[in-house]
């Protein structure tokens, strides 16, 4: 019985490593370009979240990473966001995939998820 349990545990470990369930804290993927874009996006998702705050009032929260994406709302100085991933657009600009930790001054609800340019977060 002990041997069977040990073999089962070893198999679970092999499967976890094989499917990537165990390993690094970040993963990257090349995403095909948007229909209107010319370069692919490279997205990196991080396992630990970082809290940041906008350095400007009226920072646009977008549907995706890129200045050509739909604006969903605005966040303001003092609004805290958790960074759940990052991406670079075709021009090399970094975008953070963020989640609001509480209702924003611009009216977006707590838990709202969107993309903001990283240059205006600290």
CATH number, position 101: 2.30.30
Is 15 a member of any domain? no
Whole-number Å distance between alpha carbons of 14 and 1: 20
Note whether residue 17 is domain-resident.
Answer: no
Helical segments of the chain, H only:
2-18
For the whole prediction, is pTM greater than 0.85?
no
Tally of domains within the chain: 1
Over residues 30-76, the pLDDT tens digits come to 444 444 444 456 666 655 578 999 999 999 999 999 999 999 999 99
Confidence (pLDDT) at 98: 96
pLDDT at 70: 97
What sign for the dihedral angle of Cα 47, 53, 55, 57?
positive
Whole-angstrom CA distances from 66 to 2, 57, 70, 105 are 55, 19, 9, 23
Is 13 inside a domain boundary? no
Asked whether residue 112 is domain-assigned, the answer is yes
Which residue would you say has higher pLDDT here, 27 or 121?
Answer: 121
Could you list the residue range(s) of the whole structural domain that residue 56 is in?
25-120
| pLDDT attached to residue 41 | 64
**Strand runs (DSSP E) across the chain, as ranges?**
26-31, 41-46, 50-52, 59-62, 71-75, 81-88, 94-100, 113-117
The whole-number pLDDT of residue 16 equals 39
pLDDT score of 25 more than 70: no
Instruction: Count CA within 13 A, CB hemisphere, residue 67.
Output: 6
Q: Is there a domain that residue 9 lies in?
A: no
Determine, yes or no, domain membership for 33: yes
Domain annotation covers residue 7: no
Dist CA 18 CA 9 (whole Å): 14
Average pLDDT of the residues of the chain: 75
Q: Check residues 114 and 36 and name the one with the higher pLDDT.
A: 114
- State the residue for tokens 């977006």: 108
């Amino acid at each position: 019985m002990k041997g069977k349990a040990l073999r089962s545990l070893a198999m679970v470990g092999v499967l976890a490593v094989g499917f990537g369930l165990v390993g690094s804290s970040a993963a990257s993927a090349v995403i095909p370009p948007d229909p209107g874009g010319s370069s692919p996006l490279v997205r990196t998702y991080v396992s630990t979240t970082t809290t940041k705050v906008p350095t400007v009032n009226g920072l646009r929260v977008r549907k995706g990473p890129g200045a050509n994406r739909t604006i969903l709302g605005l966040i303001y100085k003092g609004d805290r966001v958790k960074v759940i991933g990052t991406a670079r657009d075709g021009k090399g600009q970094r975008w953070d995939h963020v989640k609001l930790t509480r209702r924003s001054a611009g009216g977006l609800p707590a838990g709202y998820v969107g993309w903001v340019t990283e240059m205006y977060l600290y």
